[in-house]
Structure formats: structure tokens, C-alpha cells
Copies of this chain bind each other. A is one copy, B any other.
């Protein structure tokens, strides 16, 4: 059946590009010199400066509206992007064109999970920047059109007590989702197996906020040739390196794998994440935790459930894991997934769980189908009964995100 007009598409994964005043509008005067600011370099490029570092690519992979042949060219100035990337009023117009009702927008400059603030030297400044981003997200971006944006926040992941306090602050302001690293380990933080995060999991349960684990938010790039590298860009001799080559173009000299080899296996990061969380013992202590696996697809869920259950059945006798809780049951209870295109996942939707599948649009990144998202989602659901299609495009997301129709 065709996707019915009354069914609204709620995307659980989109991206915004921070405009130049996000931080300067909000930081205390003492922080302005060191805080994030856009500087135009000698070649006319807009570049984020923060403390003594430079961060290339104001809009990494912001290619919405471009032909694939142009994908290799990262935007160098704000004018190189369509305004919907950084202007929430324009974005709503782009969502209208795309047939999308609501979007949950992840950060760009700070890294998907707030890595840039974690790596700052002055942690008080970093915390002020993080709160500025959260205020921008809720009070400026999402407030522009409250029915069209699902408020998302970041946390000061270097300090669990501050995480708890900030989560409560943003939840009170309406945040429905926190973008948290898909693994803290590559960032040098305690793993999901550690009790370190316990107070934060308590606070997520208390607030009902969803923990969204976006591919790449832990800054680990999958793939054999890429495994030892991180997403952090470097700037040498007036040219950006590493990320330029990895994320935007040809192979780099010390890594002859085309970057597409990593793009193809993004989901493996989230398989690792799920394995960590399912075997961590933390889910049993925090039965109301809700995780969204962002940009990971869904077609692999049943395979990995079977595998998790098999290794659990054999090794629970001597390994420090829960003897009684079946991994697939934990996964099905605590995790939601989403897809952009995943025919195999849709075909196996009943096995995956019709109430656990959401859609994502990924505007303005190259995985996005904008401005044809609704058309392609409708095509992917052509053989799916109306009731199930409605759950997938709208109802599951509204329920898990606590974002009801007004």
C-alpha cells in the first residue's frame, strides 16, 4: 500500500551545521577569545578556531543538494552549502520539500558525540561551550518550529557528575535525546562495562531521555586500513589532512583503501557497541534505559542476536556475564534501530520487531536521499501493511522519543 498522506515522517537522525554565532552569541566575554569562532583564512575558507586548534570543514560531508560527482568537495564557506544546513527556518522548508515532518539534528563542529569539547584543554571553557550548544539546540534551532524539531543535547562526557546535572538541565528544557559516544573507549573514557557511568544511566532512566549512539560518535573509523586512525582532523602547512582524504576524497598516502570501504561497514561500529552494552550487565541495573542506534541500519539485527545468544550459551559458565539474561532479549528491550535504505531489514521486519524500527533522513550528509526521502521511504514500504508502515515512519519514533503530535 502506498504510504498514507496522514502518516508523518519523524527522522531520528539528521545533522545541523552550526552558524558562526552559535558560541559567540552565548559565551561569557572572558571566553570569547578562546571559544569557537569562525575565521576566514588566507584562501577565503571559513574555519572553526577553538582554543589554539583549528577545525576544518564547517560542514563535513554537507552535500545536500549536490550531485554525487561533487561529493568530494567539502564546503569551504557557508555560501557553499544550501541554507537549510545552518538555518532552521530554511531547513523546515527543505523538510517540507522532502516530505518530512520532524527531525532530530546532531551537531557538526563538536563531533557527533561532543568529542571536541572533551578534547579541549580548558574544561570550564569546554563546559560553557557545551551548554551554549545545548541552549542553541533547544532555544534557537528547535524553538524555531517546536513541532518540527526533536531537541537533542550533548553531555560533558569527561565528568559524569556534570553529565548528570546537564542532562537534568536540558531535559527540563525539553531535550528528548542525548547524543552519546557509540563507544567511550576510543576517546580514552571508561568503557560501557564500567560502573563509572551508573549515575548517568540513573539520570537517563529518571528523565526518560533517549541515548542515541550515532555511528562515528566515538571517533573510531571502521575498516582494517582505517582501524588505527581517528576522525580528528589535522591541519598542516595550510592544508587539512587525514579527514580530508578519509571523509571527502581519495585514498591517503599511508592508507591505500578508498574511504568507501569504511562507509560500507559503518554498522560494524554499532554491532560492537551493542555487544558491549548487552554484555556489560548495566542494562539489568537500568531497566528503563533506551538506546537508539543511529545510522547503523537494521538488517543485521537478527544475525547478531543469534550470534550473541550462541556465545552467551557457551561462555556464561565461566565469563563474568549474566548467566540468566539472554542477550537477544536485552537487545530487543533496550534498543531501537533506524534505516535510510534497508530492503533486507524491511523484509525481515517482523523478526526485527515492528515496534523497534524508525527512519532517518541524514540531511545534509551523503547518505541522505533528500529531496526524495518520502518517495523512497514510501517505495521501501510499498508491500508493508499500513499499520506497520505507520509504526515505522512515525509512531515508533514519537513513542520512544516522547514527541507526541500536538
A residues in contact (CB < 8 Å) with B: 67-72, 183, 185-186, 191, 193-194, 218, 220, 222-225, 227-228, 249-251, 256-268, 271-273, 275-276, 278-279, 297, 299-300, 302-304, 306-308, 310-321, 327, 340-345, 348, 351, 366-367
Contact = CB atoms under 8 A, between A and B. Distances in A.
B261 A275 contact: yes
A191 B321 contact: no
Contacts of A260: 279, 311-312, 315-316, 319, 321
Nearest 8 interchain pairs by C-beta:
A299-B303, A72-B318, A183-B224, A268-B268, A69-B317, A302-B344, A263-B311, A68-B317
A154 to B, nearest CB: 20
A183 B261 CA distance: 13
A302 B299 contact: yes
Given A183-B224, A351-B344, A71 B317 contact: yes
A271 B266 CA distance: 10
15 contacts: A68-B317, A71-B314, A71-B318, A183-B224, A186-B224, A218-B224, A224-B272, A224-B276, A225-B276, A250-B320, A263-B311, A302-B344, A303-B344, A306-B342, A315-B366
Number of copies: 2
Given A225-B276, A257-B279, A265-B268, 6 more contacts: A186-B227, A193-B256, A250-B318, A267-B304, A303-B303, A310-B367
A269 B173 CA distance: 42
B193 A307 contact: no
Given A68-B314, A260-B321, A193 B225 contact: yes
A211 B320 CA distance: 36
A122 B251 CA distance: 34
Nearest to A273: B224
A367 B345 CA distance: 27
A250 B319 contact: yes
A258 B193 contact: yes
A113 to B, nearest CB: 13
A67, A251, A257, A308: most-surrounded residue (chain B CB, <10 A): A257
A267 to B, nearest CB: 7
A163 B140 CA distance: 63
Contacts of A341: 306, 310
A191 B342 CA distance: 29
Q: Interface centre among A71, A276, A321, A366, by most B CB within 10 Å? A: A276
A264 B308 contact: yes
A307 to B, nearest CB: 5
Contacts of A185: 224-225, 227
Contacts of A272: 222-224, 227, 261, 265, 268
A268 B57 CA distance: 30
A366 to B, nearest CB: 6
Given A276-B225, A303-B344, A306-B341, A319 B264 contact: no
A276 B69 contact: no
Contacts of A343: 306
Contact of A267 (B72, B193, B303, B327): B303
Contacts of A312: 260
A265 B320 contact: no
Nearest to A195: B256
B311 A264 contact: yes
Given A275-B265, A276-B261, A227 B220 contact: yes
A259 B345 CA distance: 29
Given A263-B311, A341-B310, A348-B348, A251 B318 contact: no
A304 B271 contact: no
